[in-house]
Amino acid sequence: MNAPDDNDYSVIARAYADKVEGNAWNAYYERPAVLRLVGDVAGQRVLDAGCGSGLHAEALVDRGAAVIGIDASAGLLSLATERLGGRARFEHADISEPLPFKDASFECVLAALVMHYLRDWKPTLAEFHRVLVPDGRLVISTHHPFMDHTLADGEDYFATYQLNEEWELGGRVASMRFWHRPLSEMTGALNDAGFALDRIEEPAPDPAVRDVDPEASQSLTTEPRFIFFLARSESERHDVSRSSIA
């Protein structure tokens, strides 16, 4: 068994991709909910920020979007490229750093299950705002703050603090680091970055999950797992974002 490697999905890329493709948490809960919030993307340019193995990108392309996916994991990017077969473009990029795109490059940014890896949301949200057209959509799914706080036996819900887990998949181990933050900090960061918040959702899973995984179904219908945001970039706030780097 290999030694842990902090937040490196490449260590477990293939096993992780296989797991999330059909499990209850992702296939019957997160993906249906976040894609519903994304809405109609036919003919639109979409940035899949933290694209992983390309499952969201594939669904977006199937709906008629022109998709660019970015991720910090070379292993997951390779799997995404393999999955899409040239139907989307993928680039290596870290969402905590300035993005390699011009201002107003996208009608929609999707950040699916990636924001909880960030200590500070503000620089990333500023970049999302910059690369979106005015009134562009930002859709986020992330760890529910109540779930993280409960699992961590946290002492102060209103604090921002680090959580660590070790994931073993396919005989390999990856050390994962997440950040808990209260809901008020999430919504405040969105507002400060120039986004108008349209919806906050705590959805129920697809009812079909009852037959796939009854135990997961019970958990997903009685306890918060992820939280979902739909926000829009306010055009009058675009002058506060970073300059284009590409």
User: With 80 as the cut, is the pLDDT of residue 8 above it?
Assistant: no
Q: Which two tokens stand for residue 167?
A: 């994931």
Summarised one tens digit per residue, pLDDT across range 100-117 is 999 999 999 999 999 999
Domains of the chain: 9-240 (3.40.50.150)
In this predicted model, which residue has the larger pLDDT, 164 or 194? 194
Say which range, 99-103, 154-158, 201-205, 234-238, has the weakest mean pLDDT: 234-238
In this predicted model, which residue has the larger pLDDT, 153 or 9? 153
Q: Let me know: does 215 contact 131? Beta carbons within 8 Å.
A: no
Place of tokens 């902090």: 6
Summarised one tens digit per residue, pLDDT across range 53-77 is 999 999 999 999 999 999 999 999 9
Q: Name every residue whose Cβ is closer than 8 Å to that of residue 206 and which is 6 or more positions away in sequence.
A: 28, 29, 32
pLDDT, mean of residues 185-201: 97
Confidence of residue 3 (pLDDT cuts 50, 70, 90): very low
Quick one: which of 75, 93, 92, 81 has its CA closest to 16?
75
> Interior CA angle at 34 toward 150 and 10, to 5°?
75
pLDDT, mean of residues 189-204: 97
User: What counts of helices (H) and strands (E) characterise the chain?
Assistant: 10, 9
Quick one: which of 107, 91, 108, 88 has its CA closest to 99?
91
